[in-house]
Amino acid sequence: MKILIKNAIIVNEGKQLPGSVLIENEQIAEIFEGNDESILPEQADQTVDASGMYLLPGVIDDHVHFREPGLTHKADMESESRAAAAGGVTSFMDMPNVNPLTTNLENLEEKFRLASEKSRVNYSFFFGATNNNADQLPQLDPKKICGVKLFMGSSTGNMLVDQKEALYEVFRKSPMLIMTHCEDSGIISQNLNRCKELYGEDPSVEHHPEIRSEEACYRSSELAVSLARETGARLHIAHISTAHELDLLSNEGLDNAYSGHTCKQITGEACVAHLMYTQDDYKTLGTRIKCNPAIKTSTDRDALRQALTDGRIDVVGTDHAPHLLQEKNGGCVKAVSGMPMVQFSLNCMLELADQGILPLERVVDLMAHGPATLFDISRRGFIRKGYFADLVLVQPEQPWTVTTDCILSKCGWSPLEGHTFNWKVKYTFCNGHLLYQNGQIDEQYRGKALTFER
């Protein structure tokens, strides 16, 4: 089937230009620059007139929790991949803290099987490191698995790796990138005990950044960087939340970003929630924005925003972590941490672009080119001839407000309810298939497993 997307503004590899794209057999067959329709093919099975719209590579979200298997009362691969498609996300990388944990090869294969049956978009899965499974890491297939996830701090799912020798072995033996959750559990425990003494057994959520403090984040990230430098491992620090942690990162950017691979050893991810909110927002949004690491000060948020354009932050993900709304009841102890964000992440970043925080081209760098380059994803993340046609058409000046009836995540809520966006996702193409169109999803389509050029 041939699909022609014509009259778009193509945003790709640092440029904006008018043009059209021909899709054939899942791939980008041709890219036509300019508005001269006489150069376009005369026949196509379907034509999409993208006048007034921007054509971007599909978003690659390197950090989601789709909750399957074992936690499917909150979310599952089917529901969350539908939400992803509606948000222009064409590929995701899912975390291992499910039930059973993705900490052995058998459980990893089961997740791939489930995704092949259920996921609307493309997928890969992290293998979870533990205190005693480092010997399995050399058995992982680097061409199939996106990376190793290492929880160096308290986490949902009891996957804390806190033994120094075990940490060293993970860094030494991993055949691929290690993505770390960095918070020092000892510091968190001390802070929690102090807050309980002052505010009771379940301190109000406003105290969450006191408990999961800047020091807890920095000390753990500092240790991860030290281990990476000692062993030569590739390190990707997830959901950086403090200005201080940014001092651990270089501003060189991803080397050879448009060549599809990187030589940068230590990289950083920012998540949408830490770019959108500050601790002042706990007053109105409460535990809806409770996440780990905690949302912190406006100074931290502003530093993260600055790092989006100076090379210290390499990718933007969501840490999409849905829970039922009743599970968010309570304070720092009783309310669970995490929020659903995958459906609205691109909208949030386009809003920051409108505010002058970063150029539109940089949004594409951070959400498509960067993840593809960092993880060495094969033929995705760019609008290039011969690449898979993972594409999203977005239209500006289309105000709309987030309401419960438009939320596709299974949990049924969002901290963004009531928020009005100026950009709207109109079409999402996955592997050349028109998956999402003006609010409708093709329920029959299934995505593909990502592959990696390592």
Whole-number Å distance between alpha carbons of 97 and 126 = 10
Q: Any idea of the CA torsion for 360, 364, 365, 371, to the nearest 10 degrees?
A: 160
- Of the residues 319, 365, 376, 390, only one is catalytic, namely 319
Whole-number Å distance between alpha carbons of 78 and 362 = 30
Going by C-alpha positions, the residue among 378, 373, 389 that lies closest to residue 452 is 378
Whole-number Å distance between alpha carbons of 125 and 175 = 15
For residue 97 the two structure tokens come to 């803290």
| Residue 289 CB coordination number (10 Å) | 23
Going by C-alpha positions, the residue among 331, 317, 219 that lies closest to residue 274 is 317
Q: Distance of CA 32 to CAs 6, 22, 37, 46, Å?
A: 9, 8, 9, 17
Q: Distance of CA 70 to CAs 47, 67, 118, 387, Å?
A: 42, 7, 15, 35
H or E element that contains 348: helix 345-354
Inter-residue contact 294 to 249 (CB < 8 Å)? no
Going by C-alpha positions, the residue among 308, 221, 222 that lies closest to residue 272 is 308
Give the gyration radius of the chain's Cα atoms.
21
For residue 226 the two structure tokens come to 């030290």
H or E element that contains 197: helix 185-199
Whole-number Å distance between alpha carbons of 287 and 206 = 9
Element counts in the chain: helices (H) and strands (E): 13, 19
365 is catalytic: no
Could you tell me whether strands 178-181 and 46-49 are parallel, antiparallel, or unpaired per DSSP bridges?
A: unpaired
Single-letter amino acid, residue 454: R
Whole-number Å distance between alpha carbons of 373 and 370 = 5
Going by C-alpha positions, the residue among 226, 318, 310, 304 that lies closest to residue 271 is 318
Could you tell me whether strands 440-441 and 433-437 are parallel, antiparallel, or unpaired per DSSP bridges?
A: antiparallel
Whole-number Å distance between alpha carbons of 178 and 228 = 9
Active site residues: 319
